[in-house]
Structure 1
Amino acid sequence: MSRAAAPFELLPGAGDSPVILHVPHSAREIPPGVRAGILLDDTALARELDHITDAHTAALADLAAEAASVKPWRFVNRLSRLVIDPERFPDAREEMLAVGMGAVYTRTTDRRPLRPADTDPQPLLRRYFHPYARAMTAAVADRLAATGRAVVLDVHSYPTARLPYELHGDGPRPPICLGTDSFHTPPELVALAREAFAGFGGTGVDSPFSGAYVPLEFYGTQQRVTALMVEIRRDTYMTEPGGAAGPGLTLLASALAALVDAVT
């Protein structure tokens, strides 16, 4: 985890595609300076990364982009969410602060200390969170200018068994969970996703995770920006926790490509 990595990457798609596949939690990379502020030893950190990382979701987005009739754009976080979580609110609006998992985590998935409780999040927010947010905002604005709309499809995965940090993990855990936003997720988008993933044994909505990522500049104000979170239960495509991908990855990529084509 000492190798230098770009914080994030925008991978171009077709000029007439409104779709951005957003992959925020697929990486395990932690810069050395950030690692120094983490309390876990190497063994415990590797175990935590196994649980918290949405493993293979960047590869899933890559496969789907290549399979789609009109290639979507991809915005990929190249650093672990243990550096910053780009999908959290960076302020008191974030409900996950209750378990030490705001934009800068201070607790692990099993609620043990990850960083000192009095850690000042601002240096990490300035170095990593705000540049990420600005770049994602620019990517969405570019799709709006080019096509008149933007569709953000968030690509996530989640564990088969509930982890202690989950605030709403007592509900159903279907193979595919679709997270929605009351303003940015039209019913038609949910219907298209249900159709695309119909072959995976069940598609639920907003359980165990809800919401969909939209840059704050457009959040709650710009209806031409639509969004959907696709949460894939990990046993459908990989060995848990943190293991290799299986044949389910290719099947899921085909389904995601079908969703991209449908919304394009």
Structure 2
Amino acid sequence: MLLHVPHAGVGVPGWARRHLLPDDEALAAEQAALTDHLTDRIALRASAVAAVAPWVVVNRVSRFVVDPERFPDEREEMAAVGMAAVYTHGTRGQRIRADDADHRAALLAAYYTTWADTVARLVDARLAATGRAVLIDLHSYPSAPLPYELHADGPRPPVCLGTDPAHTPPELTAAARRAFAQVGGAATDSPFGGTYVPARHHGTDRRVRSIMVELRRDGHMVEPAGPVTGGFAVAAAALAALVDAVTS
């Protein structure tokens, strides 16, 4: 079991910051809007109380440096709004980074490839030890749509479960629905779909199972980047219940 937390980080190394066009105030506003706040703390709390502690991998680098969850090329649908693996545009469609092929390549080498290789190695370790690997891809999303969203007209349930046809079996989705009933209920693939599977396993190794869990932020915090609420403990308990259901 692996809890995968790719979008909780806010770190922006100096060499990457120099290529970002927004001033500090504007960049902070973008990060407040798009960072998956508290998902790292929710994952660590769930790991601490689960019967069998899962591994937790947390990305501490902001997605405005590199988004490790997205394809770096034309396969990524968010490339249509300038938000593939290396963003050139922000949440309102504004330009945030100039086109610079060399800088983009350096970012991908430093952060995208490194992250992908790390997660793939962890998955391989679980396969070697147990013969299977289950990855819970943990995110959060705002209660109101942001302008960049491509599927903003769909339902925005308390929990959105993202699935993959090759790697999310029905029993994993059913276990997630049961676990997150205490949060207010879950729907599937709306407003966001899919789930993370390392590239070298995707579509080829059915022993790797994955489901994305998108927690709507108003359930566990004051939006857009305020303090936790009582829902924080409920969300962590629900995630721990899913871990227990999968590992039992």
Q: TM-score range by the shorter chain?
A: over 0.9
- Displacement of 1:199 in angstroms is 1.8
Match of 1:147 in 2: 130
- Displacement of 1:46 in angstroms is 0.5
Q: Is the 8 A contact 1:152 1:225 kept in 2?
A: yes
Q: Following the alignment from structure 1 to structure 2, what is the Cα–Cα distance between the partners of residues 21 and 93?
A: 25
Matched, 1:47 2:22: no
- Displacement of 1:119 in angstroms is 5.2
Q: Is the 8 A contact 1:218 1:225 kept in 2?
A: yes
Write the deviation string for residues 63-100 of structure 1: whole angstroms up to 9, x where unpaired.
00001000000111011111111111122211110000
Match of 2:206 in 1: 223
- Displacement of 1:117 in angstroms is 3.7
Q: Is the 8 A contact 1:156 1:231 kept in 2?
A: yes
Matched, 1:124 2:145: no
Matched, 1:250 2:236: no
Of 180, 196, 208, the residue aligned with 1:197 is 180
Match of 2:222 in 1: 239
Q: Is the 8 A contact 2:183 2:238 kept in 1?
A: no
User: What 5-or-longer segments of structure 2 have no aligned partner?
Assistant: none
Q: Following the alignment from structure 1 to structure 2, what is the Cα–Cα distance between the partners of residues 169 and 261?
A: 32
Matches within 5 A, 1:162-177: 162-177=145-160
Of 77, 98, 120, the residue aligned with 1:95 is 77
Match of 2:169 in 1: 186
Q: Following the alignment from structure 2 to structure 1, what is the Cα–Cα distance between the partners of residues 110 and 235?
A: 34
Match of 1:80 in 2: 62
Q: Following the alignment from structure 1 to structure 2, what is the Cα–Cα distance between the partners of residues 210 and 23?
A: 16
Q: Is the 8 A contact 2:168 2:211 kept in 1?
A: yes
Fraction of identical pairs, as percent? 56
Q: Is the 8 A contact 1:183 1:220 kept in 2?
A: yes
- Displacement of 1:202 in angstroms is 2.5
User: What 5-or-longer segments of structure 1 have no aligned partner?
Assistant: 1-18
Q: Following the alignment from structure 1 to structure 2, what is the Cα–Cα distance between the partners of residues 162 and 119?
A: 31
Match of 1:135 in 2: 118
Amino acid at match of 1:80: S
Secondary structure of 2:57's aligned partner: strand
Q: Following the alignment from structure 2 to structure 1, what is the Cα–Cα distance between the partners of residues 18 and 100?
A: 15
Secondary structure of 1:195's aligned partner: helix
- Displacement of 1:243 in angstroms is 1.0
Secondary structure of 1:178's aligned partner: strand
Q: Is the 8 A contact 2:40 2:58 kept in 1?
A: yes
Q: Following the alignment from structure 2 to structure 1, what is the Cα–Cα distance between the partners of residues 170 and 143?
A: 27
Matches within 5 A, 1:1-40: 19-40=1-22
Secondary structure of 1:26's aligned partner: coil
Q: Is the 8 A contact 1:106 1:119 kept in 2?
A: no
Amino acid at match of 1:196: A
- Displacement of 1:200 in angstroms is 2.1
Q: Following the alignment from structure 1 to structure 2, what is the Cα–Cα distance between the partners of residues 118 and 79?
A: 20
| Normalised TM-score (structure 2) | 0.97
Match of 1:11 in 2: none
Secondary structure of 1:197's aligned partner: helix
Q: Following the alignment from structure 1 to structure 2, what is the Cα–Cα distance between the partners of residues 93 and 70?
A: 36
Amino acid at match of 2:201: F
Where does structure 1 differ by over 6 angstroms across 4 or more consecutive aligned residues? none
Write the deviation string for residues 163-196 of structure 1: whole angstroms up to 9, x where unpaired.
0111111100000000000100000000000000
Q: How many residues align?
A: 246
| Normalised TM-score (structure 1) | 0.92
More helix by share: 2
Secondary structure of 1:262's aligned partner: helix
